[in-house]
């Protein structure tokens, strides 16, 4: 063992590496480098986020690069079907898998939404009740940033649970989308149908993330309006149910193909950010009046 240690030290010296610093890197860990692509208030290294996460700050992050690669592969497949129409016929047997897994992914997504909304509402309601939010407001942080960090903590807490619904949406949505847009536009519509499928596939994944952030914003707003954790959680749940019921009922309006495309592709990407911003604004407004 002593001989092996000498060899390691000699090798590190040859590479101009300080063995003490190398050993220190093995036992020391900082969070400064975590989530560098996110705004400072949304990172797990943020003090408010860390306080709410506790030991859950070590959660695994979403493998965005894998999702992008899977999306690109399916885009190539859809575009190739323009030259080889039989390509859609080859993927149709997978529709039975989609019929089983897509409802499962939807159920898991609903559980994540409920958990995130409930936790975000509890973060604000509990701190209002204990008056610890007043202490946070004495810091240089703006109230908007404080609430945004609390919402980010709620989302981070259930990030691992989002992996399976996102994977199911990415891998199993294509056959169902082919059937849907073949019925809506017709396979003879050519490149228009293909671009609609590509856009709808991307929307089916992005909307899961945006809806999770949206329900966290709703939870912050409801927590800012009541001191009761239960009341805030139930109110968040009811608003979430109302949103999804409205989206699905809007599909039934007989406004033609353009309206269906808007509801299926554009609305899920536009409405959640707007609702999140409105909820955050009124949560701040409510707390400032309190």
Which tens digits make up the pLDDT trace of 199-248? 999 999 999 999 999 999 999 999 999 888 889 999 999 999 999 999 88
Pick from 228, 210, 219: nearest CA to 153? 219
> What mean pLDDT do residues 33-37 have?
67
Q: Is residue 31 part of a domain?
A: no
pLDDT digits (tens, 9 = 90+) for 45-61: 888 888 888 877 777 77
Q: Is residue 42 part of a domain?
A: no
Residues 186 and 60: their CA atoms lie apart, in Å, by: 42
Q: Is residue 15 part of a domain?
A: no
Q: Is residue 233 part of a domain?
A: yes
pLDDT digits (tens, 9 = 90+) for 69-113: 999 999 998 888 878 777 777 777 777 778 888 889 999 999 999
Q: Is residue 44 part of a domain?
A: no
Q: To the nearest whole number, what is the mean pLDDT of the chain? A: 82
Q: What is the DSSP letter of 58?
A: G
Q: Is residue 227 part of a domain?
A: yes
Confidence category of residue 40, pLDDT binned at 50, 70, 90: confident
Q: Could you tell me the residue range of the domain that residue 222 belongs to? A: 63-289
Asked whether residue 251 carries a pLDDT value surpassing 70, the answer given is yes
What domain count does the chain have? 1
Q: Is residue 21 part of a domain?
A: no
Instruction: Give percent above pLDDT 90 in the chain.
Output: 37
Residues 6+ apart with CB under 8 A from 207: 268, 269, 272
Asked whether residue 18 carries a pLDDT value surpassing 60, the answer given is no
Q: Is residue 154 part of a domain?
A: yes
In the prediction, which pLDDT does 6 show?
54
Residues 207 and 269: their CA atoms lie apart, in Å, by: 6
């Amino acid at each position: 063992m002593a001989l092996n240690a000498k060899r390691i030290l000699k090798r590190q010296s040859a590479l101009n590496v300080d063995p003490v610093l190398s050993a220190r890197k093995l036992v020391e860990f900082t969070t400064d480098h975590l989530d560098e692509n996110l705004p400072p208030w949304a990172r797990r290294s943020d003090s408010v986020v860390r306080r709410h996460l506790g030991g859950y700050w070590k959660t695994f992050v979403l493998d965005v690069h894998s999702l992008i690669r899977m999306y690109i592969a399916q885009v190539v497949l859809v575009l190739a079907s323009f030259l080889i129409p039989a390509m859609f016929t080859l993927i149709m047997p997978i529709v039975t898998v989609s019929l089983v897994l897509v409802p499962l992914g939807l159920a898991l997504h609903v559980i994540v939404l409920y958990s995130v909304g409930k936790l975000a509402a509890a973060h604000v309601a509990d701190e209002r009740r204990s008056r610890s939010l007043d202490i946070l407001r004495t810091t240089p942080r703006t109230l908007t940033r404080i609430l945004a960090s609390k919402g980010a903590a709620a989302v981070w807490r259930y990030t691992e649970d989002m992996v399976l619904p996102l994977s199911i949406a990415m891998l199993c949505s294509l056959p169902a989308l082919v059937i849907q847009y073949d019925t809506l536009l017709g396979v003879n519509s050519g490149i228009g149908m293909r671009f609609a499928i590509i856009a709808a596939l991307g929307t089916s994944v992005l909307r899961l993330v945006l809806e999770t952030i949206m329900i966290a914003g709703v939870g912050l707003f409801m927590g800012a309006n009541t001191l009761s954790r239960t009341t805030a959680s139930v109110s968040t749940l009811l608003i979430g149910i109302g949103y999804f019921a409205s989206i699905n009922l809007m599909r039934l309006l007989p406004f033609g193909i353009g309206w269906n495309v808007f509801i299926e592709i554009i609305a899920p990407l536009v409405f959640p950010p707007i609702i999140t911003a409105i909820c955050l604004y009124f949560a701040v407004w409510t707390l400032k009046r309190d």
